[in-house]
A = this chain, B = another copy of it.
Amino acid sequence: QRKRLRDRFSLRIHVIRWIIFILIGIITALNACFVNIVIDLLSEQKYKFLKASVEQNVPVNGGDGDLALPYLWWLLLSVVPVAVGATMVTYIEPITAGSGIPQVKCYLNGVKVPRIVRIKTMAVKTIGVITTVVGGLAGGKEGPMIHAGAVVAAGISQGKSTTFVKDFRIFKAFRDDHEKRDFVLGGGAAGVAAAFGAPIGGMLFSLEEAASFWNQNLIWRTLIASIISSFTLNIVLSAYKGLENFTFTGLFNLGKFKEPLTFAYFELPIFMLFGVAGGLLGATWNALNTLINKVRRRFVPWKLGKVAEAVVISIIGVTLATIMIYFIDDCRPLDKERISYPVQLFCEDNEYNAVAALWFQTPEATVRALFHDEEGAHNIRTVGYFTLVYYFLACATFGLNVSLGVFIPTALVGAAWGRLVAMQFLDWFPDAHFLNPGKYALIGAAAHLGGVLRMTISLSVILMETTGAETSFFFPLIIALISAKWVGDYFNEGIYDMVIEESHAPILPWEPVPQYKGLTALEILSKPVVCIKLRDSAHYIYEVLLRCDHNGFPVVDDVKDNRRCEGRVCGIILRSQLIVILLKSLYVENKRFWLPETSIQTFREVYPRYPSIKSVRPLDRKENYTVDLSMFMNPSPVRVNNHDSVPKIFNIFRALGLRHMLVISNENRIAGIITRRDFIYK
């Protein structure tokens, strides 16, 4: 009877968990649709207006006209959104600055990142990324979309929101760190799927970048979330653009290649060289970016300065673009189909300015153009200068106090130099027909992404899914990516890891650092440990909580002369639980009042933001209440022997996703405690 009840309960939990993952997929996709559509509409207005303005003011045949006017308009239409976005990020929620992927990665690694999965964060991030992309900064919407997926996952799975101070009183069974983390992993995958239309890529991204603990069921749920997400996105965007025959086409955010991409064996070394170049350029980019951000943090600490900085970079970008458009003479026959906002400028009728075409669109559209434009669509000089300008622009942009992703600008720079190289060689050897500039733009993008981000498997799958490339083209992509990663890893780490390192988050690597080989737990543990007796006085607990901010306290018995820190370990109790015990006065002396109605729910309700100890009224000095922790504590904490080797306990810590681990002596007495910070090599 009891067994069957338990089975039914666990089945219910199971089904609810699936439903939550599906909901995560749907809502993440809807958020992505919103971002996509708003950016689409606003950029359309912006570039349409600018095109009209240029055409009105261009001096035709020596007639008058003032090109300063469209330049000023461009400045205005760029600076205003950027300023709005930067202000929101800086003043409302500074954690939304940047891509969000490093923070999500930290969160999934087990680091507490305050406010990272709140709805307010998501709102600011969403508006922030729209303003950034519409403002024309060198940033993409992908990173923030992934972050948004994580927020959606955390919000739904907990059934409550701190921002709105609202508790829906559902999904209570999932209110613990491990469950929440699994959902956030699914949310991240759904975010990738929504950002790129790449369900397998989404799953792999989560696994490669984020997951710490491997589990078949988890990967399953993650995949479902990302499939549902890409499917929802596809339906909504198809509906928005006018459904054709109800046919599922996939999304192909970066455009589907018309011809299947093929390659010959002798191109493999070329792909490898591209990878090497990507690794070098990427490592340089990472180093430069980190340097710029260090300088930035040092010299512009005040808030208004951060907003001003974003505005300045925006102005520099527009100005450089204007100079390029003005001075480079690259006219091409007009092909209305392909170019969204063709600007004639100084070109003949029925021609358009190819430089302006590169700049007068969102970065994503530019990547698409570099992949799919025909062979003769650009001048070598145009692409050359463009590559140069964008490389440094992107470098100065990432790290500004605005919400933006680094994927699209990186892909853009890579696609630009990839195309440039192919064009140059095609110029020298016009018979080398294998030098398809679009294909080499894709390889360049892969190489540069590999050099900057250092992800490989998920990136290659994402690139394949988002360009609809053939599965056989997986091979060149992975060759370019792996070469780039290996070369880049020789110099420094991926950009996300560098951001994490700068933030000094105690993130755990995949494997224990070699310096820890041969050490034992004794050599890294922290002590003395603040312990609490199995039956301890409420006064003592209250004072301990006031005095120190540890998250968990070992519970000990067999304590002699009140030397608690030499007691024998019985279990562990969390700070939050102790606070609840004090708040609700769960003392031994008044047991008969609370015992019948106290359950695990009493403790779950306050998750994850339990009240501060300051909210507990100081206890009356005269009354001598006792707390019996044997009812509340976790009686089987993970404990290791003080002679255990560090690599071994590291593996346990990592695999189980622990926050703390008790070190005991041979007599089961407390020797110390090991937390995540103890594993970070100083």
Query: A residues touching B (Cβ–Cβ < 8 Å)?
Result: 3, 6-7, 10, 198-200, 203, 207-208, 211-217, 219-220, 223-224, 227, 230-231, 235, 245-250, 262-266, 456-457, 461, 464-465, 468-472, 474-475, 478, 482, 510-511, 514-515, 517, 520, 568-569, 635-636, 638-639, 641, 643-645, 648, 651-652, 655-656, 666-668
Q: Do A262 and B235 contact each other (CB < 8 Å), given the known contacts A465-B471, A514-B7, A636-B644?
A: no
Question: B265 to A235, Cβ gap below 8 A?
Answer: yes
Task: Please determine whether A639 and B641 come into contact, CB atoms closer than 8 angstroms.
Answer: yes
Choose among B216, B246, B645 the residue that contacts A510 (Cβ–Cβ < 8 A).
Answer: B216
Which of B215, B217, B248, B514 is in CB contact (< 8 Å) with A263? B248
CB <8 Å contact, B231 and A248: no
CA distance A510 to B218 in the complex (A): 10
CB distance from A76 to the nearest CB of B (A): 41
Residues B461 and A472 in contact, CB atoms below 8 Å apart:
no
Q: Does A215 contact B514, Cβ atoms closer than 8 Å?
A: no
Residue of B with least CB distance to A645:
B636
State how many angstroms separate the Cβ of A352 from the closest Cβ of chain B. 32
Q: Which residues of B contact A520 (CB under 8 A)?
A: 636
Known contacts A215-B511, A457-B223, A472-B248: A651-B644 contact under CB 8 Å: no
Question: B636, A250: Cβ atoms under 8 Å?
Answer: no
Nearest-neighbor residue (CB-CB) of A244 within chain B: B264
Residues in B neighbouring A641, C-beta threshold 8 A: 636, 639, 668
Chain B hits for A235, CB < 8 A: 265
Which of chain B's residues have a CB closer than 8 A to the CB of A230?
475
Contacts of A639 in B (CB 8 A): 641
If A247-B262, A636-B648, A668-B666 touch, whether A208 touches B215 (CB-CB below 8 Å) is no
Q: Please, could you name 15 A-B residue pairs with CB atoms under 8 Å apart, sorted by A?
A: A6-B517, A199-B478, A203-B457, A207-B219, A213-B214, A215-B511, A216-B510, A219-B457, A224-B482, A235-B265, A250-B470, A250-B471, A520-B636, A638-B652, A639-B641
Greatest chain B CB density within 10 A among A212, A456, A666 is at A666
Q: Which residue of B lies closest to A7 (CB)?
A: B514
Are A200 and B636 neighbours in the complex by a CB distance under 8 Å?
no
Q: Are A471 and B464 in contact (CB under 8 A)?
A: yes
Q: Is the CB of A643 within 8 A of B636?
A: yes
**A264 with B250: CB separation less than 8 A:** no
Contact present for B217 and A246 (CB under 8 Å): no
Assess the A648–B643 pair: CB atoms within 8 A. Answer: no
| Residues in chain B near residue A248, CB distance under 8 A | 262-265, 472, 475
A200 to B463 CA separation, bound complex (whole angstroms): 14
Cβ of A465: which chain B residues have Cβ within 8 Å of it?
Answer: 471
CB neighbours of A6 from chain B (8 A): 514, 517
Taking CB atoms, residues of chain B closer than 8 Å to A200 are: 200, 457, 461, 471, 474
Whether A10 lies near B514 (C-beta < 8 A) is yes
User: Shortest beta-carbon distance, A202 to chain B, in Å?
Assistant: 12
Would you call A217 and B464 a contact (CB within 8 A)?
no
Name the contact of A220 in the complex, choosing from B231, B262, B456 (C-beta under 8 A): B456
Q: How far is the CB of A525 from chain B (nearest CB, A)?
A: 14
A224's nearest neighbour on chain B, judged by CB, is: B482
* A656 and B667 contact, CB distance less than 8 A: no
Shortest CB distance A295–B (Å): 32
- Output the residue of A6, A461, A475, A520 with the most chain B CB within 10 A: A475
* A651 contacts B643, C-beta separation under 8 Å: no
Q: Which residues of B contact A514 (CB under 8 A)?
A: 6-7, 10
CB distance from A349 to the nearest CB of B (A): 39
What CA separation (Å) do A470 and B214 show in the bound complex?
29
Complex CA–CA separation, A217 to B265 (angstroms):
28
Q: Which residues of B contact A472 (CB under 8 A)?
A: 248-250, 468
Residues of chain B lying within 8 A (CB to CB) of residue A568: 666
The answer to whether A478 and B227 touch (CB under 8 A), given A457-B219, A468-B471, is yes
**Top 9 A-B pairs, shortest CB-CB distance:** A214-B214, A250-B472, A655-B655, A636-B644, A246-B265, A246-B264, A666-B668, A465-B471, A636-B645
Inter-chain contacts of A668 with B (CB < 8 A):
641, 666-668
- Nearest opposing residue in chain B for A509, CB measure: B216
A4 CB to nearest chain B CB (Å): 11
**Of B265, B475, B656, B666, which one neighbours A655 at CB under 8 angstroms?**
B656
Shortest distance from the beta carbon of A179 to any chain B beta carbon, whole Å: 14
Contacts of A198 in B (CB 8 A): 471
Bound Cα distance A219, B216 (Å)? 14
Q: Which residues of B contact A644 (CB under 8 A)?
A: 636
* Residues on the B chain within 8 Å of A515, using CB: 3
In the complex formed, the residue of B with least CB distance to A642 is: B636
| From B249, B262, B510, contact of A217 by CB (8 A) | B510
Look across to chain B and name the residue whose beta carbon is closest to the beta carbon of A209: B216
Task: Report which of B219, B247, B475, B638 forms a contact with A208, defined as CB distance below 8 A.
Answer: B219
Contact B645–A656 (Cβ < 8 Å): no
Known: A7-B514, A246-B266, A668-B666. A214 touches B211 (CB 8 A): yes
- Which residue of B511, B652, B667 contacts A652 across the interface (Cβ within 8 Å)? B652
A52 CB to closest chain B CB, in angstroms? 37
B262 touches A249 (CB 8 A): yes
The complex places the Cα of A422 from the Cα of B219 at a distance, in Å, of: 33
Nearest Cβ on chain B to A140's Cβ, whole angstroms: 21
Contact of A667 among B215, B219, B231, B667 (CB under 8 A): B667
Query: How many whole Å from A449's CB to the nearest CB in chain B?
Result: 17
Q: Which residues of B contact A216 (CB under 8 A)?
A: 208, 510
Complex: chain B residue closest to A666, CB-CB: B668
Q: Kindly list 11 other residue pairs between chains A and B, CB separation below 8 angstroms, not including A215-B510, A636-B648, A652-B652.
A: A6-B517, A208-B219, A212-B214, A214-B215, A227-B478, A246-B266, A248-B475, A568-B666, A635-B643, A641-B668, A668-B668
